[in-house]
Amino acid sequence: MYPWEKVDPGQDSTIRMIHEAVKRGHEVAITHPSNLTIRDSVTLSLCKQVVNKQKPSNSIKAFYREVEFHTDMMAMNGFDVIFMRDNPPMDGLVLNFLDSIKDDVFIINNINGLREANNKIYTAAYHDPNRELIPATHVSKNIDYLLRIINESDQDKMIMKPLDGYGGSGVIVIEKSAMHNIRSLLDFYIHREKGKSNYVILQDYIEGAEEGDVRVLMLNGQPIGALRRRPASGDVRSNISAGGSVEKYKLTKQDKYLCAQIGEKLVKDGIYYAGLDIINGKLVEVNVMSPGTLKDINRLNKVRLQEKIIDYLETVVETRRSMKDDFRPEILLDNA
């Protein structure tokens, strides 16, 4: 995960999963990508293991303040579950380290799934010829090509964002009425890092986007919670980290259809926990690294989704032990 010192206990989703697992008596440790190492062909990591001296406080803030750790180098294949919760962009070498243990430990999300889905190309490449689920999406770093796409679009507005952004960073609306500025914007986005060119996403503007989006949390291909995010005044981004607000939300028939279609692909690809961002019944993004909003969905609906998540992990571990080599996570779909 991201550094423990950067956790905001009042809002963070990861700490709620950790707290639930510790409360149930599980041995829990946290580590960071930079701590991974290999010694004598064994993948290890310097881990901070939670010291379970007594039942933790029910208060997440108190738990964060009071928790104690024992730091040690630990073999990664000694865990039942590894939950990947680092912020994007993902360091591909992390997956190379974990390749050696992917058959021994349940990794959520799956190594191959993360390779395929860790950035916004995953959504852009989804086969949806009739634009039923996903708005027209283009990914390129060729400025002239992207300008052509904008000129040929029958819409006055499009959404532009960096391929590797998260938390709403870099998401803007571009308008044909300001074409004289767009080449400069594209140049800035593509060449924002010296000596490196970056991919840009252009996406059709969806009617109603100015009212915000819907975040749906998916567990094993099924929606387990949702909320509506409203952008702050004068901002196009709905992300809470960008100042957006949240409201209770009930999935529509179209939302449920989209979740069913996308959920099937997610499980097939080894993405067992994800956040979907939906606008007006269309999918604009799949978040597979560290989707948030757990705390707000809990508060708005008087639920504790971390219980469902840990229940699922316990079921996976028990089923793996009983079935051994025959286990496939998708067999749990019907019971999710």
Sequence spans of domains, the chain: 4-117, 136-204, 210-304
Counting every residue, how long is the chain? 336
CATH no. of 4-117? 3.40.50.20
Other CB atoms closer than 10 Å to residue 91's CB: what's the count?
A: 14
What does the pLDDT average to over 189-200? 86
What does the pLDDT average to over 153-160? 88
DSSP 168: T
Would you call 21 helix, strand, or coil by DSSP? helix
Classify the C-alpha dihedral 16-19-23-26 as positive or negative. Answer: positive
The CATH class given to the 210-304 domain equals alpha beta
Q: Is the pLDDT of residue 336 over 50?
A: no
pLDDT tens for each residue of 53-89:
788 999 999 999 999 999 999 999 999 999 999 988 7
CATH topology of domain 136-204: Dna Ligase; domain 1 (3.30.1490)
| DSSP-derived secondary structure for 233-295 | TT-S---GGGT-EEEE----HHHHHHHHHHHHHHHHTT--EEEEEEETTEEEEEE-S----HH
What does the pLDDT average to over 193-207? 87
Q: How far apart are CA 62 and CA 57, in angstroms?
A: 6
Give the residue from 29, 105, 111, 103 showing the smallest Cα distance to 73: 29
Query: Is residue 304 a contact partner of residue 21, using CB atoms and an 8 Å limit?
Result: no
pLDDT tens for each residue of 85-94:
998 878 889 9
- At 207, the pLDDT band (50, 70, 90 cuts) reads confident
pLDDT tens for each residue of 101-117:
999 999 999 999 999 88
pLDDT at position 171? 86
Beta-carbon contacts of residue 125 (< 8 Å; ≥ 6 apart): none
Helical pair 14-23 and 305-323, crossing angle rounded to 10 deg? 60
pLDDT at position 234? 57
What does the pLDDT average to over 45-60? 92
Query: Is residue 164 a contact partner of residue 287, using CB atoms and an 8 Å limit?
Result: no
What does the pLDDT average to over 224-228? 97
pLDDT at position 332? 61
Q: How far apart are CA 297 and CA 280, in angstroms?
A: 19
- The strand ranges marked E within the chain are 29-30, 36-39, 42-50, 69-75, 81-83, 106-108, 137-140, 157-162, 172-175, 200-204, 213-219, 222-230, 245-248, 273-279, 282-287
Would you call 162 helix, strand, or coil by DSSP? strand
What does the pLDDT average to over 151-172? 82
Q: How far apart are CA 252 and CA 240, in angstroms?
A: 22
